[in-house]
Amino acid sequence: MIVDGVFSGGGIKGFAYVGAIQALEEKGIKFDRVAGTSAGAILATFIAAGFNAQELEEIFDELNLKVLLDPPKLTREFPFLKWLNLYRRFGLYKGKALENWFLQKLATKGIYTFGDLPKDSLKLVASDLTNGKIIVLPDDLHHYNIDGSTFPISRALRMSCGLPFFFEPVYLKHESTESVIVDGGVLSNFPLWIYDNGHKKRPVLGMKLSSASEDRAPHEINNAIQLFEALFTTMQNAHDNRYIARRHEKNIIFIPVEDYSTTQFDLDEKTKNKLISIGKERTIQFLKSWSPVW
């Protein structure tokens, strides 16, 4: 079966996607077009670049997550200055190491820019905070006078994965203005609307790093930190939850990983394997009764 795939954000919890792709490959399900936000953007890109499930597992198994965290040199020498960098640069980490890692991995498949992929095969979501809008890459780059076909995919991934206050944002210059671009999950954490838009060419299979809506516990809000967490989670999902109807949920694999942290960059092997196992088991269970609705 050939499908279009859409993958939600979820940070480090995205390891669960590796197991999900393993289960799909075993059933002979392949992707023609893919789209995603943040962690989902990473998976979508690697699929579009031609990585199979075995290669994905090897890539993420060998990955030392801590090397992707690159604080400015001055804050490494004087840790207390990280808060000054957060104030001035809007992020604790530069994000260059993350972008370089994307570049190196994609280069092994000869993929550098969107022009190296079949047209419309990959869509990544980011957030333009300056103009208050969702942007789809590479489609919307012409609004910034940028040729999407020559734009580095590694840079687009860094934009889609730029968790606010964690990684420094990416800046896109346009005439006399400069747009601040951050994680796509701020405005659309699960962009099912990209392909499930009334003009579908084939079944659209979604993967979401959360439980189904009826299984989610309500937010517990007893202090300011819990209030912020609830605020950010609501902001991430409100747009997408309003879009997703019951008929859409029949085509979505919900992977329940809420108990894991989005930014747990010190993830151990046991936890990595547990996430992969959850992704595979939930996908196998889903496929037993899945009948594509489209």
> Which residues are marked as active site?
38, 183
Q: How many CA atoms lie within 13 A of 1 on its CB side?
A: 16
Give the 3-state secondary structure percentages of the chain, helix then strand then coil, rounded to 5.
50, 20, 35
Q: What is the 3-state secondary structure (H, E, C) of 152-190?
A: EHHHHHHHHCCCCEEECCEEEEECCEEEEEEEHHHCCCC
In angstroms, the CA 229 to CA 197 distance is 30
CA–CA–CA angle 158, 69, 43 (5° rounding)? 40
Nearest Cα residue to 158 out of 188, 181, 130: 181
Alpha helices by DSSP H, listed for the chain, are: 16-26, 39-48, 53-62, 73-77, 82-89, 96-107, 153-160, 224-243, 246-249, 269-289
Query: Which residues 6+ apart lie within 8 Å of 70 measured at CB?
Result: 93, 94, 95, 96, 97, 98
3-class state of residue 256 by DSSP: coil
